Amino acid sequence: MQRSRAIVGLVFLIFFVISFLTNILGPLVPDIISAFSLSLTLAGFLPFSFFVAYGVMSIPAGTLVERRGERVVMAASFAAACAGATLFALVPSYRIAIGSLFLIGLGMAALQVAINPLLRVAGGEENFAFYSVFAQLVFGLASFLSPRAYTYLVQGLQADPTRNWLLAALSRVVPKELPWVSLYWVFALVTLVMVVVIASVRLPRVELKEDERAGALTTYVSLLRQRVVVLYFFGIFAYVGSEQGIANWISEFLRSYHGFDPTTTGASAVSWFWGLMTAGCLLGMGLLKLYDSRLVLRGFAAAAIATLTVALFGPAQASLYAFPALGFCLSVMWSIVFSLALNSLPRHHGAFSGILCTGIVGGAVVPLLVGWLGDQLGGLRGGMLVVYGTLAYVFSVGVWARPLIANETTWRRRNDANVS
């Protein structure tokens, strides 16, 4: 096995870039609505165009990795993201934004498939669990920082673009009335650098484990005929739909209902949403050592429903704090639903993982549905009622799930010891 700390570091960097590009849209939504005079429905097509790429690419990406290898897939993924970011930076318009986000989404979806086996090989089997958790922390850090980068660039370009070389360079290519477009120039540069880096480094040979392989078409057909597979697919759909249905509309909600500045207060709220989600993951790891994962899932889902009520119907300050707190409540849902799903089937985990990852398309459908209902019901508050339904479904997973293998807890280990 070819271990390399440098490659592990590269994988962490890739996780950072994926998160930085993926979770920046929420702070941008108010600016894009204002710049292009969009309805909530049209604004909802922005996250739709990004996350629908996951539905298109998640399963084919696994096949591409098997046939072409990690290096080719990762370089092509960053090249697609670079093309998308450059296109929008050069021609900032609504229609171009739709195509740009779809290209970036295709790249990010393929990257997530390619990097996990690479992390396992470069870091070693015995370190994979630790490195996987650390990668999620890196992912969360990038999500926390990206809205703050947006605030820095927009305020800097509006106030004094000559104060450093970066702002000065961006001021020459960014329209004065669209300072937020500067982020896409940064994305284009970062993704171009990543293409060069990946093309330059020597990656270890990755032998995919059986549960990492994409599987034959007949395997997918067989799995999709099983009721439990479909139920868990919608579990991932509902979770990602809840996450993106909240995160993409936080800043616009705070602006339209409470008058908060989206460049500063709105962006900060989105930043803390992702930051508290990362903190919640750490707490969740401890709770899963004590309690059954289904109980933890039900508890966090119930807390999310209560917190969403405060965010949507509470006064301004309560709403400002409740939206970030929702990130904390959502923190354990992805990992618990995904692990319950995989532990509910005895085999074909690679193909099942591909089906589950296709459920990320919930991040496309739910924000769009929120926007459309918001237009029909006279405001974003009415549209965001959809999230009650997706959170209720996540809660239900904690009720009906019957995994073949339950998570090991301190109490369960102690009882097993007493029996033996």
- 333 and 408 housed in the same domain: yes
- 197 and 222 housed in the same domain: no
- 330 and 182 housed in the same domain: no
Work out the pLDDT band at 33, boundaries 50, 70, 90: very high
The predicted pLDDT at position 123 comes to 75
In a domain, 355, yes or no: yes
- 224 and 195 housed in the same domain: no
φ/ψ (deg, to 5) at 5: -65, -30
- 303 and 173 housed in the same domain: no
The Cβ of residue 324 has, within 10 Å, a number of other Cβ atoms equal to 21
- 33 and 166 housed in the same domain: yes
Calculated CA dihedral for residues 91, 92, 96, 97, nearest 10 degrees: 150
Q: What is the CATH number of the domain that holds 135?
A: 1.20.1250.20
In a domain, 236, yes or no: yes
Query: CA-to-CA distance for 248 and 102, rounded, in angstroms?
Result: 16
In a domain, 21, yes or no: yes
In a domain, 118, yes or no: yes
- 179 and 204 housed in the same domain: yes
In a domain, 420, yes or no: no
Query: CA-to-CA distance for 225 and 229, rounded, in angstroms?
Result: 8
| Mean pLDDT along residues 272-298 | 88
In a domain, 256, yes or no: yes
The predicted pLDDT at position 410 comes to 63
Least confident among 10-14, 83-87, 96-100: 10-14
pTM for this structure? Answer: 0.89
- 206 and 235 housed in the same domain: no
Identify the domain boundary among 211, 237, 269: 211
| Mean pLDDT along residues 96-100 | 95
- 271 and 382 housed in the same domain: yes
| Mean pLDDT along residues 80-97 | 95
Least confident among 19-23, 216-220, 259-263: 216-220
The Cβ of residue 67 has, within 10 Å, a number of other Cβ atoms equal to 10
Instruction: Read off the tokens for 217.
Output: 């078409």
| Mean pLDDT along residues 285-313 | 92
Contact 25, 184 (CB under 8 A): no
- 392 and 269 housed in the same domain: yes
Please work out, in degrees rounded to the nearest 5, the angle formed at the alpha carbon of residue 105 by the alpha carbons of 101 and 106: 120
In a domain, 136, yes or no: yes
Identify the domain boundary among 169, 189, 211: 211
| Mean pLDDT along residues 405-410 | 66
The predicted pLDDT at position 401 comes to 87
| Structural domain containing residue 165 | 1-211
| Mean pLDDT along residues 330-347 | 86
- 317 and 199 housed in the same domain: no
Q: Is the pLDDT of residue 288 over 90?
A: no
Please state at what angle helix 94-123 crosses helix 70-90, rounded to 10 degrees: 150
- Average pLDDT of the chain? 88
Cβ burial of 339 (10 Å; 0-12, 13-18, 19+) is middle
Calculated CA dihedral for residues 360, 366, 367, 370, nearest 10 degrees: -170
Identify the domain boundary among 211, 236, 269: 211
The predicted pLDDT at position 1 comes to 46
Q: Is the pLDDT of residue 150 over 50?
A: yes
In a domain, 316, yes or no: yes
Q: Please give the tally of structural domains in the chain.
A: 2
- 283 and 177 housed in the same domain: no
> pLDDT (tens digit, 9 = 90+) per residue, 345-377?
887 777 788 788 889 999 999 999 999 999 999
205 or 313, which is more confident?
Answer: 313
| Mean pLDDT along residues 390-410 | 85
